[in-house]
Chain A
């Protein structure tokens, strides 16, 4: 069993399970999280298809479009305080802009391999994969996800207390 088949089997199973969960689960938070997992597993599949540009676009969409949308649709809001949505959206846009700038700098410095592929016909680029997982861009993406989750939790706590969202 080749590396491409293993990647396809794992990412495909996660993708199907996430899609079915996102489509059928009653809790919108679980459905939104399942949608994000589905999109990220699709990004892995695109890398397996030797389409790194599409994979990168899907990751960016998942982080900066779908994640704020899911947060907006799933974070509970009290009837007395309904002005938190635009504040959360603005914070997400600011964080997205910062990460995009970080990624642009990393690409300009040649730290993001754009020829990553696991297809046997292209040859296994394990060094490129290792650089992608351990490089500065991966750290920036992980940090951005952590900050986005912290912002969602802070907005949720602020709304629960009834205080205005910063």
Chain B
């Protein structure tokens, strides 16, 4: 399986996430869309790392995962705060 196939899959994932971020009206849907875009970026970095036979891409993928965790924590806090105001 070539690296290009993984890159195409990452592009499809990114488009789906961007679509969800644009068309969804609620905060939860937009957070899910952004998480999809983070997942697409991670897949692209990991596939590029394999394609170029370097480990740098996997390190970058780990960094993207950590940023996604921070984003999810922000979304979690927003959800708790908004529900608290109810």
Contact = CB atoms under 8 A, between A and B. Distances in A.
Interface of A: 2, 4-5, 8, 12, 15-16, 19-20, 22-24, 28, 31-32, 35, 38-39, 42, 45-46, 48-51, 53-54, 57-58, 61, 65-66, 68-69, 72-74, 77, 79, 82-83, 85-86, 89
A15 B72 CA distance: 20
B36 A35 contact: yes
Interface residues of B, number: 42
Contact of B23 (A24, A50, A86): A24
B65 A58 contact: yes
A132 B74 CA distance: 33
5 contacts: A19-B16, A28-B26, A51-B58, A65-B69, A89-B80
Contact of B1 (A8, A31, A79): A8
B33 A23 contact: yes
A51 B80 CA distance: 35
A19 B43 CA distance: 13
B36 A19 contact: yes
Contacts of B72: 61, 65-66, 69
B26 A51 contact: no
* Chain A, interface SS category: helix
Contact of B20 (A12, A24, A51, A53): A24
Given A38-B36, A53-B58, A61-B65, A72 B80 contact: yes
Contacts of A65: 68-69, 72-73
Nearest to B25: A26
A117 B71 CA distance: 30
Contacts of A5: 1
B76 A89 contact: yes
Contacts of B75: 69, 73
A36 B65 CA distance: 15
